[in-house]
Structure 1
Amino acid sequence: MTTAKEKYLELLKELIAIPSVSAKREHLPEAANRIAKALTELGGETTVDDSYFAPLVISHFKSEKPDAKKVMIYNHYDVQPAEPFDLWKSDPWTLTQKDGLLIGRGVDDDKGNLTARLTAVAEYLEEHENGLPVDVTFVVEGSEETASQHLDDYFKKHPELQADLIIWESGAKDKDEHPVITGGNKGIVTFNLKAKTGGFDLHSSLAAVVQSAPFRLSQALSTLFDENGRIAVPHFYDEVRKPNEREKQLVADLKDTREDFVQKNEVLAPLLTDLRDEDWKQALYFEPTLNIERITTGYQGAGVKTVLPAEALAKLEARLVPGMDPDLTLKAIESHLAARGFDDIVVEKTLGQAGYRSDMTDPEIIRTIDVHKDHFDEEPVVIPTSAGTGPMNYAYQAIKAPIVGFGIGYPGSLDHAPNENIRLKDYDDNIEVLKEIIASYET
């Protein structure tokens, strides 16, 4: 007889084989419909809302317990592109098991987390004839990797979505094998800066009297930072919500050292926090960022072409902490450039979403901390926010419930990179932890 774990590992194999890359808008309905089928077969009241390009899957599992609390489980089925393919040691769209690992694009981010949670609910239902002691709602979106476009619109369409606790998409153990619980993430605004200094490229001999577009753009970019790399845009930090003392202490207690960070990320340049004599961990988790992702201009072919480029493009991003609005942040940057004489630089927004931090003393989050402590027989590492970005704020604004993240990953999972993988032992741990969280609502 096939066990629940075997059944949903087979589902994971099917989902990995669906290249649901939201950046390319490919195979999203296919993935959504397969997940919906699995949720329906498990007994959920399931809806696929395809109002936008990435369908949203909603599935309700009702408890028979009077006045049962409500837990929402959020995941996503879209993945990052698998390129470059030549760096993969196996086919990225085939779930490969080797040496205690499961390998494939999306196995950690985020399809494996979803199937682990389906397994937990299925096993709990098999083991308890009275059903669930808590209402469980799965919400599975398909645009997380592209800033969760239209997730806020979906939440507005579905006011019936309610929860006392939201369990977020994923998480990982740390390098010392401690379970990690996270309560927030940064927001983001991504944008382009475009410079145009002429109608067409000119002969480079004219550089004595004519500005090139890359020269103009690089001048504008240099005004965004001071000499120590701190963001020099007026009002950029005005709405930043400062961490409270508990949040600062949780980050200070993290065991990672500056040397660990430098070695892990193979950093060769001085840390910006060293230049400013600031604590690198506090800055990583609680400070906003402004980053130049790419600058494109001029001739890109082989050899030399002596031209004075007429156009240049820079792609930038700002990671936002709670309190910061993506549009107001971008407006501050645009106003700064205009005030510095660069009103000819075109500012074009591409994506944006706000950040969020949970209150890590909320009783529902303490519940998840206590379950982890009992399961692993040790205190989990509790981080009030990650340094990365996700759509937590959309969920919080719609549902007003605390959000907590934990999952099946480990430091070598290689999310977004070739050879993305998880360890089967972490997958199994996550199944048991979620079953124990569900069981904690029995009394």
Structure 2
Amino acid sequence: MANRKAEYLTLLKELIALPSVSAKRESLPETAHLLGSALEKLGGQVEIDESYFAPLVIGQFKSQKADAKTLIIYNHYDVQPAEPFNLWDSDPWTLTEKDGHLIGRGVDDDKGNITARLTALAEYLDDHDGQLPVNITFLFEGSEETASQHLDDYLAQHPELKADLIIWESGNKDAQGQIELGGGNKGIVTFDITAQTAGIDLHSSLATIVDSAAWRLTQGLATLFDPKTGEIKVPGFYDDVQTPNGREQALIAALPGTKEDFIKDYQIQAPLLSDKRQTDWKNALYFEPSLNIEGLSSGYEEAGVKTVLPAQATAKAEARLVPGMDPDKTLGQIRDYLADQGFADLTVTKTLGQPGYRSDMSDSEILKVIDLAKNLYPGEPVVSPTSPGTGPMAYVNNAIPAPIISLGVGYQGALDHAPNENIRIADYDDNINFVKLIIDSYTH
């Protein structure tokens, strides 16, 4: 049998070398075509849809079984920027092996997951005379790191895509080495809020009569949040929140880790907002929306003193959304509330947005994957109905109504989006075997 692992590690090296940063729109067509060639070489029917800036890659592998089910494997080939380069121990665009780890930008999020799954399929085909018990469709997008722009448009152009189960892009082992399996993620809407109080920056002696943009912005931002209760004050913000069902609440309650561990691990110094609201911290993390200021910029920020009255101030902000919440509706509520509080002059500009999603974790296809994990990994898998992070599950499920479960090659120290992103080779190998088990389960 061919050394499939080595073959696809070579592909991983080639993928890492392509800086497919969707935020900069770099190397996206080149990466898509490299993946398309790999799928064709493996025997797939490949289509590369280049209708938008980040091509969608579809690779289909058909089973001979007349009643075969269909498995969609979703991944993304775009990555986060690698800066700051000086914090990397090796070149981020060169796949580096060291001490049982593979290091490079995108090795966990998400290119290593792609090549592990291709390895699993290739090894399965080699072991079974090229025959599959299930139809497999690979779906690779190139804008996941920028809110999956145009993914919904792409999917609308491909109504032929159907599935009984969707394997999501990635997943981890937890700090105890247990495999984590997830079924959802939060949505998000990101936006800029800008105050403009003069045409030019002014001498700060004028602050007795002219409002500063920095004051104007921060005063407006302060109306959005109640610091005493930890509640977001925007009317209607919580109205559409989808309440978790009993199984979802039980799964979250069973997740490992305590509040004290969380505070220690993240070096938290401020009081927890969930304590102010008198809600359970895990429920808040997974089932509640949030409103966050990502950054503030105004006036003079260099060394020394400059007595200036800033004419402009900008905040980059985000609302993390849970299922039931609409990004545009939520942003409209925020904009309307600022106006009602006397801040209609603040400009609110949407930058990105997508809704949230949660799978039914009692679906038979998902329960099967959970049982298979017990056959491969030691101990009980850690099962979560959702993630605090964001992804395009809702777009995919709206177009292809099938249960979704996430699993992957990562671990707690993978450093996704950070310098020295890495995976452990042992976890990579485990994931290959897990995907082969999932494929083989459709034999029965």
TM-score by length of 1: 0.99
Cα shift at 1:378 = 2.7
Residue in structure 1 matched with residue 244 of structure 2 by the alignment: 243
2: CA distance, partners of 1:142 / 1:384: 25
Do 2:182 and 2:384's aligned partners in 1 also have CA atoms closer than 8 Å?
A: yes
1: CA distance, partners of 2:81 / 2:263: 27
Residue in structure 1 matched with residue 369 of structure 2 by the alignment: 368
Q: What is the letter of the counterpart of residue 25 of structure 1?
A: R
Name whichever of 133-142 and 299-308 sits farther off: 299-308
SS at match of 1:194: strand
1:272-351 maps to which residues of 2 (within 5 A)? Answer: 272-351=273-352
Q: What is the letter of the counterpart of residue 178 of structure 2?
A: H
Cα shift at 1:145 = 0.3
Do 2:70 and 2:162's aligned partners in 1 also have CA atoms closer than 8 Å?
A: yes
SS at match of 1:441: helix
Residue in structure 1 matched with residue 80 of structure 2 by the alignment: 80
Residue in structure 1 matched with residue 399 of structure 2 by the alignment: 398
Cα shift at 1:291 = 0.3
Cα shift at 1:377 = 4.3
Residue in structure 2 matched with residue 388 of structure 1 by the alignment: 389
1:149-160 maps to which residues of 2 (within 5 A)? Answer: 149-160=149-160
Cα shift at 1:301 = 3.0
1: CA distance, partners of 2:260 / 2:132: 46
* 1:414 is aligned to 2:415: yes
2: CA distance, partners of 1:375 / 1:152: 35
Residue in structure 1 matched with residue 18 of structure 2 by the alignment: 18
1: CA distance, partners of 2:232 / 2:174: 30
Name the % identity. 65
Do 2:178 and 2:378's aligned partners in 1 also have CA atoms closer than 8 Å?
A: no
SS at match of 2:260: helix
2: CA distance, partners of 1:261 / 1:301: 35
- The superposition leaves residues 229-270 of structure 1 with CA deviations (integer Å, 9 ceiling, x where unpaired) of 321100000100010111011000111111221222222222
Cα shift at 1:130 = 5.7
1: CA distance, partners of 2:247 / 2:291: 26
2: CA distance, partners of 1:225 / 1:377: 44
Residue in structure 2 matched with residue 52 of structure 1 by the alignment: 52
SS at match of 2:365: helix
Residue in structure 1 matched with residue 105 of structure 2 by the alignment: 105
Name whichever of 375-384 and 113-122 sits farther off: 375-384
Residue in structure 2 matched with residue 131 of structure 1 by the alignment: 131
2: CA distance, partners of 1:179 / 1:170: 11
- The superposition leaves residues 146-190 of structure 1 with CA deviations (integer Å, 9 ceiling, x where unpaired) of 000000000001111110100000000111111110000000000
Cα shift at 1:426 = 0.4
1:159-170 maps to which residues of 2 (within 5 A)? Answer: 159-170=159-170
1: CA distance, partners of 2:377 / 2:78: 31
Q: What is the letter of the counterpart of residue 275 of structure 1?
A: K
Residue in structure 2 matched with residue 432 of structure 1 by the alignment: 433
1: CA distance, partners of 2:421 / 2:428: 14
Q: What is the letter of the counterpart of residue 375 of structure 1?
A: L
Q: What is the letter of the counterpart of residue 113 of structure 1?
A: N
Do 2:232 and 2:291's aligned partners in 1 also have CA atoms closer than 8 Å?
A: yes
Cα shift at 1:2 = 4.6
* 1:142 is aligned to 2:125: no
Unaligned runs of 5+ in 2: none
SS at match of 1:91: coil
Q: What is the letter of the counterpart of residue 33 of structure 1?
A: H
Cα shift at 1:200 = 1.4
Q: What is the letter of the counterpart of residue 17 of structure 2?
A: A
Q: What is the letter of the counterpart of residue 43 of structure 1?
A: G
SS at match of 1:72: strand
Do 2:71 and 2:137's aligned partners in 1 also have CA atoms closer than 8 Å?
A: yes
1: CA distance, partners of 2:58 / 2:305: 55
SS at match of 1:440: helix
2: CA distance, partners of 1:255 / 1:57: 37
Residue in structure 1 matched with residue 195 of structure 2 by the alignment: 195
2: CA distance, partners of 1:210 / 1:438: 68
Residue in structure 1 matched with residue 179 of structure 2 by the alignment: 179
Give me the CA root mean square deviation: 0.9
2: CA distance, partners of 1:420 / 1:268: 27
- The superposition leaves residues 40-96 of structure 1 with CA deviations (integer Å, 9 ceiling, x where unpaired) of 000000011111110110000000011100000000100000011111011111111
SS at match of 1:60: strand
Q: What is the letter of the counterpart of residue 87 of structure 1?
A: L
Count of residues in Structure 1 that have an aligned counterpart in Structure 2: 443
2: CA distance, partners of 1:133 / 1:278: 47
2: CA distance, partners of 1:230 / 1:365: 35
Residue in structure 1 matched with residue 118 of structure 2 by the alignment: 118
SS at match of 1:430: helix
1: CA distance, partners of 2:69 / 2:267: 46
Do 2:167 and 2:405's aligned partners in 1 also have CA atoms closer than 8 Å?
A: yes
2: CA distance, partners of 1:302 / 1:379: 54
SS at match of 2:177: coil
Shift in CA distance, 22/130, structure 1 to aligned 2, threshold 3 Å: closer
- The superposition leaves residues 176-214 of structure 1 with CA deviations (integer Å, 9 ceiling, x where unpaired) of 111110000000000011111112111101111211001
SS at match of 2:410: coil
Q: What is the letter of the counterpart of residue 283 of structure 1?
A: A
1: CA distance, partners of 2:434 / 2:267: 34
2: CA distance, partners of 1:121 / 1:383: 26
Name whichever of 194-203 and 428-437 sits farther off: 194-203
Cα shift at 1:303 = 2.1
Residue in structure 2 matched with residue 205 of structure 1 by the alignment: 205
TM-score by length of 2: 0.98
Q: What is the letter of the counterpart of residue 297 of structure 2?
A: T
Unaligned runs of 5+ in 1: none
1: CA distance, partners of 2:64 / 2:348: 54
